[in-house]
Amino acid sequence: MTQSPSVLIVEPSADEREVLRTVLARRGLRIWEAAEVERGLELAREHHPDVILLDTEANHAGDDGVQAEFDATSIAQHSSLIILGRISHDHSLPASQVIAKPYHFAPLIHKIEQLAARAA
Amino acid sequence: MATLFVMQGRDKGKRFDLRGDDITVGRDGSNRIQLNDSEVSRRHAEVRRTPEGIVLADLASSNGTFVNLEKIDQRLLKNGDRVQIGRTLFLFTDADDRSSVNLAHDVDIVGLGNVEGSRILKSVSHESGSQLFAPPDPAESPWLARARSNLQVMYRTALAVSHTLDIDQLLSRILDLIFEWVEADRGCIMLVDHETEELAPTASRNRKGVRVDGKLSISRTILDYVMQHKEGVLTSDARDDQRWNPEGSIVKLGVREAICVPMQGRYGIVGVIYIDTYTPPGQIVQQRAPNKFSEEHLKLMVAIGHQAALAVEDTSYYSAMVQAERLAAMGQTIATLSHHIKNILQGIRGGSYLIEEGLKEEDNEVVRRGWRIVDKNQERISNLVMDMLTFSKDREPELVPADLNETLADVVELMQARAAEAQVQLVLQRRDDLPQFQFDPDLLHKAVVNVVTNAIDACEKREGARVEVSVEHEPGARFVHIVVADNGEGIAAEDLTRIFSVFESKKGSRGTGLGLPVSQKIMREHGGDIRVESTPAVGSRFYLELPTSVSAVVNQTQLP
């Protein structure tokens, strides 16, 4: 049986995690959550999610090194990376996968679904 | 680090770091140093880093680039150089450009044991120093008396201009001094307006008791001459000495004389000082001389003008620095507040989105979740606004006899929902033996809420997380202590001094950095304070000290 697509949310705000978790779970996606980047990287390497959502306000996520590590992890695991906030170095990410804050949830959810469907 | 600091021009107060390689200066947005100056070319000049140092090069600009008033194509910049680009005047500073000579090798401060043979013979206070030039001795020569008097004027000018950093006050003092020393009827100081480059009257004075008719008219020719030649002038309408005879018109009409001198600063003329006087016909005959102003007056006025110009430049530089600091502080405040408001908005958007989704799918549980998030963020913005208001205003607490147990019980009741959400046990240890104290219940409530909020956040979701609010009071003691203790993550020693500084928060996007400064301000306004004891990984205890007998001390509040 094929597993449903999965999303890793690395987001320091409990409210935003709750919104994303509630909506994405209802759309049939599997969810992993982390409030901090270290835990986020652990979950990414353990579960190979189809989409990784990284908020740059998570601890140290604004640093070049941390973003580059997520970048490298997502490329190695064929995950799609979405960055919420400002990017700090030259990413290979398409502009549509860098979303400035404050953002609207509907287009973000739509984007996650699109990328997850592509992976599936 | 090398910088260009804008001293004059529309960008006054801005400081540009010269880090990195070639930096262009110009009007266009593509320049790293973009100037809001219509006389600057689109790409005007370039700052280049070379092995010799920092070089400024003109990029064939229309109006040229000047260093210390000299037009340049290319110039190695030295610390203190003034760079003029269009109407914008920069000061170049380079912290690395300083002598490498270690004076410690040449100078030795010796201890008490090594001062054999040295003893203090005479000491002079600052006040005695100002009496350097004693009143002239009647026996001394008129030349010496005049020289002493002139030195005294210069000394007093130097003192006067060094005692203020307010331009208006400075110019007023200079006019006072001039009027004390020379028999002028009217005086005016005009400063160069950096926008228009025209002279604009900035201070004026009339001699007491002298009737002055209408406006002070100053000859444009004289002003232009002074500005162009950078020389002081003495003028008189007694044009022809031959007219000095009892039958001449000068005796019938009187004489109007004027002195106009440039205020020559380090790098240009900052303005002019103008004084004039009128000698009526009768007085000319009486004083047996047509003039009150002499060449000596002119020379001294030129010297005063120079002193005043240096002070105006210093004051202008100082005010630009203050403005820059204010702008930086304001920028930081706006950036920090915008960041918090942006996060709150994001929460409200998220909650609203959930409500919308729940309504669409008729799922009340999702609607409820969304509403809870909206409600929580409404509370956050309300708290932020109230904290900003409390922090920004000095207000005297409305002290009334009140029950401390009641205020603390209100706080604990209010915070129970938040504590439950964070899986923290929040308890109040009531003291039933407490007398009533004088305090402002609303303000104290706010102060304690902020500390309890932090305590809950500090031990959120830790095993056995607990926050306890209690009161320590000994009969007759000067202070009663409200104690908020948690078993949370604790505070590192190096952070203990920073936690009461505004906008310092270790809580990431959850903290505004206003809570503890507001609590501290409230306690200080009550005549008390806050102190904290903390052990990392064990927990913290905050003590809110409230005087047992107080009057409000709002004006003594010292914030960090």
pLDDT averaged over consecutive 10-residue blocks of chain A (120 residues)? 86 92 94 92 93 86 76 87 78 76 90 87
Is residue B321 scored above 50 in pLDDT? yes
φ/ψ of B12, rounded to 5, equals -45, 135
The SS3 assignment for B257 reads strand
What is the rounded distance in angstroms from the CA atom of residue A84 to the CA atom of residue B350? 14
Tell me which residue has tokens 């209408």: B214
Claim: this prediction has a pTM higher than 0.80: no
User: Cα(B535)–Cα(B433) distance, rounded to whole angstroms?
Assistant: 31
Reported confidence tier of residue B131, pLDDT bands at 50, 70, 90:
low
Q: How far is A11 from chain B (nearest CA, A)?
A: 10
A101–B342 C-beta distance less than 8 A: yes
Q: Which residues does chain B have within 8 Å of residue A108's beta carbon, measured at their own beta carbons? A: none
Task: Note whether B364 contacts A: Cβ–Cβ < 8 A.
Answer: no
> How sure is the predictor about B288, in pLDDT bands with cuts at 50, 70 and 90?
low
Nearest to A19 among B342, B353, B376 (CB): B353
CA distance B345 to chain A (A): 7
If you average pLDDT over every residue of chain B, what do you get? 82
CB B232 within 8 A of CB B261: yes
A6: helix, coil or strand? Answer: strand
Q: How many Å lie between the alpha carbon of B378 and the closest alpha carbon of chain A?
A: 13
- According to the model, what pLDDT value does residue B154 have? 81
Q: What is the mean pLDDT of residues B297-307?
A: 90
What pLDDT was estimated at residue B403? 92
- pLDDT(B185) > 80: yes
* A32, A62 Cβ separation under 8 angstroms: no
Which of B22, B29, B109, B16 is CA-nearest to residue B59? Answer: B22
- Comparing B159-173, B282-296, B387-401, B478-492, which segment has the lowest mean pLDDT? B282-296
Q: Does A22 touch chain B (CB under 8 A)?
A: yes
Q: What angle do the packed helices A105-119 and A14-26 form, to 10 degrees?
A: 50
Residue B353 has pLDDT above 60, yes or no: yes
Annotate B132-162 with b (16+ C-beta within 10 A) or e (fewer): ebeebeeeeeeeeeeebbbebbbebbeebbe
Max avg pLDDT among A5-19, B276-290, B305-319:
A5-19
CA B67 vs. chain centroid, Å, equals 28
Torsion of CA A59, A64, A65, A68, to 10 degrees: 110
Q: Do the beta carbons of residue B551 and residue B484 sit within 8 Å?
A: no
CA distance A119 to B96: 55
Which pLDDT score is estimated for B74? 94
The H or E element that residue B244 is part of is none
Band the pLDDT of B509: cuts 50, 70, 90: low
Q: Which token pair is B484?
A: 């908020």
User: CA B201 to CA B221: how far, in whole Å?
Assistant: 16
Residue type, B430: R
CB-defined contacts A:B, below 8 A: 53
Three-state DSSP at B8 gives: strand
Q: Which residues contact B470 (CB under 8 A, 6 or more apart)?
A: B428, B429, B431, B482, B483, B485
The answer to whether residue B151 scores a pLDDT higher than 90 is: no
Q: How far is CA B358 from CA B10, B364, B376, in A?
A: 54, 6, 18
Count the alpha carbons within 13 Å of B412 in the hemisphere toward its beta carbon: 21
Kind of pairing, strands A51-55 and A80-84? parallel
State ipTM.
0.89
Asked if A27 has any chain B CB less than 8 Å from its own CB, the reply is no
What whole-number distance in Å separates Cα of residue A100 and Cα of residue A87?
A: 9
- Contacts with B366 from chain A: Cβ below 8 Å: 22, 26
DSSP B234: E
pLDDT for B82 beyond 80: yes
pLDDT at site B272: 94
pLDDT tens-digit readout, B199-247:
999 998 888 766 666 677 788 888 888 999 899 988 876 544 443 454 5
Q: Kindly report which listed range (B3-12, B140-149, B399-408) carries the lowest average pLDDT score.
A: B140-149
Helix/strand/coil for B301: helix
Contact A96, A111 (CB under 8 A): yes
Q: How many Å apart are CA A5 and CA A41, to the nearest integer?
A: 18
Cα B326 off chain centre by: 6
Q: Cβ(B243)–Cβ(B237) under 8 Å?
A: no
Q: What is the SS3 assignment for A78?
A: coil
pLDDT at residue B211, rounded to an integer: 62
Q: Say if A62 is an interface residue toward chain B (CB within 8 Å).
A: no
State residue B556's pLDDT score.
41
**Which comes out higher in pLDDT, residue B172 or B155?**
B172
Q: In sequence order, which residues have a C-beta less than 8 Å from that of residue B300 and are 6 or more positions away?
A: B150, B153, B154, B181
Is residue B456 a contact partner of residue B467, using CB atoms and an 8 Å limit?
Answer: yes
Mark yes or no for CB contact B508/A57 under 8 Å.
Answer: yes
Identify all chain A residues contacting B353, using CB atoms and an 8 Å cutoff.
19, 23, 104-106
Question: What pLDDT sits at residue B241?
Answer: 43
Query: Is-contact B289 B251, C-beta < 8 A?
Result: no
